[in-house]
């Protein structure tokens, strides 16, 4: 009779699967465990990871004080005051059953689900929504998520508007996103790229710089858990489970001092005094951002808020390296 597989070995097999993206068949050669047994081990171990880590390592702030702390870290590390997170989404490719046809076919012709995420200043996921159909438009993915519902209904328990040092105007706390999202009073996006003044180009740069937290978080996630770079040949429920487990493991490892040093690659390390916090996403063609939003109308209040942040970044909130960054962009 074959000896029972120990919990340690079950965890080892599961982590190897997530880290390499190898198929169960490939793993069977190195582990000498049958593919169907590996499949069962991975499913049960992922369920245990989610049960144990889920309530502990990812929690959306629920009070104004908690959101204010998130904003303080963004100001200290990324020179963007009143920012409560950067928002983006990525497609996770999988191989659906034939009966599904093109149900999950996205704008790039791949079958996928969406991982929507809000990330803090230190690459930690504050919120994720996993499983929206890859066919859905980006704005709909966000709007139908629990976080999107709160943003659209203005029910996030955010701190009151307040002034930032040296700027005589009260600014709200905001999420930063890209053109995939609609401009809202609590959700900033870049100015359209045509005919930009220098001031607006600087605003776009400063917003883009703050958004690197979510881009880098996705980059680290994919770098460490390469299963997310593959076309996962499993059912959609399992793809959601795999993705969520990877996010939980990411948060667990990135917040532990003992693991943070080796988990975060050197080229993702944070520095708040220069234009060094950038890293082109090392994601394969299997992971890519949400489709760009077009034809979106923004309320006047949201437009005014963006203009005020723009004014701040060009006056009291200016930093020396923003000008060299703009100059480099002209080359």
Specify whether 28 is located in the same domain as 73: no
Cα distances (Å, whole numbers) of residue 152 to 115, 128, 174: 19, 17, 13
Residue 102 lies in a domain: yes
- Least Cα distance to 115 among 94, 140, 134 occurs for 134
Residue 2 lies in a domain: no
Specify whether 151 is located in the same domain as 68: yes
pLDDT of residue 103: 86
Domain count, the chain: 2
Residue 44 lies in a domain: yes
Residue 1 lies in a domain: no
pLDDT of residue 99: 76
Residue 179 lies in a domain: yes
pLDDT of residue 289: 55
- Least Cα distance to 44 among 9, 19, 20 occurs for 9
What SS3 class is residue 114?
Answer: strand
Specify whether 71 is located in the same domain as 127: yes
Specify whether 117 is located in the same domain as 232: yes
Q: What angle do CA 212, 215, 220 make, to 5 degrees?
A: 115
Specify whether 49 is located in the same domain as 63: no
Specify whether 209 is located in the same domain as 269: yes
Specify whether 65 is located in the same domain as 48: no
Q: What is the pTM of this model?
A: 0.90
Euclidean distance between CA atoms 225 and 220, whole angstroms: 8
Residue 148 lies in a domain: yes
Cβ-Cβ contacts under 8 Å for 40 (sequence gap 6 or more) = none
Q: Give me the tens of pLDDT residue by residue for the chain, a chain 331 residues long.
A: 567 899 999 999 999 999 999 999 999 999 999 999 999 999 999 999 999 999 999 999 999 999 999 999 999 999 999 999 999 999 999 998 877 778 898 888 999 999 999 999 999 999 999 999 999 887 789 999 999 999 999 999 999 999 998 998 999 999 999 999 999 999 999 999 888 999 999 999 999 999 999 999 999 999 999 999 999 999 999 999 999 999 999 999 999 888 888 899 888 887 665 554 444 334 444 455 555 444 444 456 999 999 999 999 999 999 999 999 988 766 5
Specify whether 50 is located in the same domain as 137: no
Q: Give one DSSP letter per residue of 216-229, joined into a string.
A: HHHHHHHHH-GGGG
Specify whether 42 is located in the same domain as 69: no
Specify whether 67 is located in the same domain as 47: no
Q: In the listed set 16, 41, 56, which residue is the last one of a domain according to the structure? A: 56
What is the number of H-type helices and E-type strands within the chain?
11, 7
Specify whether 134 is located in the same domain as 23: no
Euclidean distance between CA atoms 279 and 268, whole angstroms: 7
Specify the pairing of strand 162-164 against strand 167-171. Answer: antiparallel
Residue 273 lies in a domain: yes
Specify whether 42 is located in the same domain as 144: no
**Domain coverage including residue 174:** 59-329
Task: Pull the structure tokens for residue 101.
Answer: 């046809």
SS3 of the chain: helix, strand, coil, percent, to 5: 50, 15, 40
Find out whether 290 and 114 touch, Cβ atoms under 8 Å.
yes
């Amino acid at each position: 009779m074959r000896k029972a597989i120990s919990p340690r070995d079950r965890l080892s097999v599961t982590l190897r699967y997530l880290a390499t993206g190898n198929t169960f068949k490939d793993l069977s050669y190195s582990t000498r465990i049958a593919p169907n047994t590996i499949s069962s081990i991975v499913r049960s171990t992922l369920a245990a990871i989610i049960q144990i880590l889920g309530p502990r390592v990812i929690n959306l702030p629920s009070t104004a004080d908690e959101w204010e702390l998130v904003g303080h870290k963004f100001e200290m590390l990324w020179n963007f005051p009143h920012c409560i997170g950067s928002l983006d989404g990525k497609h996770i490719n999988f191989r659906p059953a034939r009966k599904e046809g093109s149900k999950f076919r996205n704008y790039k012709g791949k079958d996928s689900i969406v991982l929507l995420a809000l990330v803090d200043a230190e690459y930690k996921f504050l919120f994720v929504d996993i499983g929206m159909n890859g066919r859905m438009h980006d704005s709909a993915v966000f709007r139908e998520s629990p976080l999107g519902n709160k943003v659209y209904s203005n029910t996030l328990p955010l701190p009151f508007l307040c002034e930032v040092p040296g700027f005589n105007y009260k600014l709200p706390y905001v999420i930063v996103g890209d053109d995939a999202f609609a401009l809202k009073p609590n959700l900033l996006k870049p100015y359209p790229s045509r005919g930009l003044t220098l001031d607006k180009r600087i605003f776009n740069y400063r917003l883009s710089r703050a958004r690197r937290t979510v881009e880098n978080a996705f980059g680290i996630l994919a770098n460490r858990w390469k299963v997310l770079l593959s076309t996962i040949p499993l059912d959609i429920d399992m793809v959601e489970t795999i993705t969520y487990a990877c996010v939980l493991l990411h948060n667990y490892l990135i917040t532990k001092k003992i693991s943070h040093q080796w988990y975060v690659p050197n080229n993702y390390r944070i520095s708040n005094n220069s234009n060094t916090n950038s890293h082109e996403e090392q994601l394969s063609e299997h992971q890519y951002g949400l489709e760009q939003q077009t034809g979106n109308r923004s309320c006047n209040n949201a437009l005014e808020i963006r203009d005020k942040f723009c004014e701040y970044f060009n006056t009291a909130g200016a930093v020396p390296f923003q000008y060299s960054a703009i100059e480099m962009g002209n080359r």
